[in-house]
Structure 1
Amino acid sequence: MKLDLHFFVGAHRIVFMDTKEIAPVPPESAKPYSFEPASPLSVEEPIAWYLHHAAAAADKAGLKTVRTQARVAFMRQFGQRCKVARGAREINDVAATVGVHRNTIWNIERGDSLPDAFELEVLAKEYNTTPTHLLGGERHEKAPPIGMVPRSVQAVQVDAFVYVPLFDARSSAASGAFNDIDAVIAMRPFDAHFIRYELGISHNDIAMSVMVGVSMEPWLHSKDTLLTDLKDRDALTEGIHVVRLDGALLVKKLQRLPGKILRVSSYNQAYEPFDIHSHEDTGRDFAVLGRVRWAGVAFN
């Protein structure tokens, strides 16, 4: 019986009890590159992520896969920044100024396409920002000082922040609710991504006020701060709304009932619910002013 032992430096082959050769075992550096495909939601820094994985890719197929994953993540984030920068402006208005079809702006914001260099410069000018910011090269970690934002009855977007007017509820009720500049106490900054995406409010008709009374306890307490969408006035979405009743601003839970009846109730059981009928005297001072979308708790 013949015994052959073969030793090689680098790639190895071993033959025992036979002369039949077996395939060489490739060195570690020659193994094909593999990685877990990344979701666009999980890649926070697509450029850095791409460069890291591209350096380890062993072939063109692996490099192409890495590039595709990084590009999808980059386009999605770029689109989000463009939508935040657009704020409450209509897509048609922006498209007309840039000189493209509205679907072009829509596709950019959805993360389906990227503008060319010229369109990028024009978009940045229109959005009062810079191409570098839209591309993700600037990080606005701090909001501009509140004193730099003039008081307004509507929200004002500055870069990556939306400043929402905080109203004195009593003064605002006396003057007609959320339309008197003298009732604006301050402009409070919010992350624009939170307002535009998480809350889904694309316009600037939003206002803040301070909860008064205990009618909504234990959900809301006196001095809690409320953010209200002033365009959501139809009360078709059940939830907490700000209403005006006989000259006073109230925070109540609204429910639609058959017969065009609107039930107005409180979370505090000590406060009796009441109904608003469509056939009642139209001269009655009652109006739905908006739906509460966010609340901040005040600890006494």
Structure 2
Amino acid sequence: MSTTIVDAAFRSRLTQVIHSFGSVVSLATAVGVSDNAIYKWLSGRGQPSVANLVALARAGRVSVEWLATGAEAAQSAQAITRSVEHGDFIFMPRSRIRFSSGREGILRSEQVVDSIAFRAEWVKRTLNAEPRDLILIEVVGDSMAPTVKDSDLILANLAEPRFRQDGIYLLRHDGGLAVKRIQRRPDGKLLVRSDNPKYEAMVVPNVKIIGRVIWIGGRV
């Protein structure tokens, strides 16, 4: 691997992944290396092997390409949306999905706005999910109204990246992200549709699922 992997830009991306875990020790444990190894990478005195680079990317929920080269910058946002657990509460960064005009809920930019606290016991028992697997998003748009309205919040479980049952999912579509309902038709094909009837449903042969939406919150 080229020694350019330890340049300043790489160290900056590695720092983002570390921040998502809260500490070097936590990241080292997830990757399976010593904390000294990560400190060496941060200082530029060493470089991760291919295997460790892949492990870093998986732990940070980013692509290997982005971590190594900075490409696919849109995916890097996943590295900074990890929750932080403190005492009885989980502080979940709130990301805002903005929609380009004329599109049906496609992500064009993402901004971390603030953090919202959830009770850890409620997340684990009621939602039956691990906080580290969740992403909190403020939806901007009407494609899923009235189920998910403009400015509503959703929690998506990234540990469910495949279709298992009819429901609402976070998808990668047309170079961005979309929140859509997926249903299995009698012929076995998957129907991707918006709850807002003004948007047409689509039969998609290969649905790229990021996670399943397990909670919706908003104004009555």
Shorter-chain TM-score: what band?
0.5 to 0.7
Q: Compute the displacement of 1:291 (Å).
A: 1.1
The equivalent of 2:184 in structure 1 is 256
With a CA cutoff of 8 Å and minimum separation of 6, indicate the structure with the bigger relative contact order: 2
Q: Compute the displacement of 1:244 (Å).
A: 2.2
Unaligned stretches of 5+ residues in structure 1: 1-88, 94-150, 178-182, 279-285
TM score, norm. by length of structure 1: 0.41
RMSD over aligned Cα atoms: 2.8
Decide which structure has the larger Cα Rg and report it. Answer: 1
Instruction: Map 1:1-300 to 2 at 5 A.
Output: 152-170=80-98, 173-174=107-108, 183-257=111-185, 261-278=189-206, 287-298=208-219
Q: Deviations over 1:141-193 (max 9, x none)?
A: xxxxxxxxxx9421111111111121122499457x8xxxxx32222110111
Q: Which amino acid aligns with 1:199?
A: L
Aligned equivalents of 1:225 and 1:203: distance in 2?
16
Aligned equivalents of 1:208 and 1:162: distance in 2?
12
Q: Compute the displacement of 1:264 (Å).
A: 0.2
Q: Which amino acid aligns with 2:197?
A: Q
TM score, norm. by length of structure 2: 0.55
Aligned equivalents of 1:289 and 1:206: distance in 2?
11
Aligned equivalents of 1:287 and 1:156: distance in 2?
27
Q: Report the count of equivalent residues.
A: 138
Aligned equivalents of 1:236 and 1:164: distance in 2?
26
Q: Which amino acid aligns with 1:246?
A: D
Unaligned stretches of 5+ residues in structure 2: 1-25, 31-78, 100-105
Q: Compute the displacement of 1:266 (Å).
A: 1.4
Of all paired residues, the percent bearing the same amino acid is 29
- Relative to structure 1, the CA distance from residue 248 to residue 262 in structure 2 (aligned partners, 3 Å threshold; closer, same or farther) is same
Q: Compute the displacement of 1:287 (Å).
A: 2.1
* SS of equivalent residue, structure 2 residue 150: coil
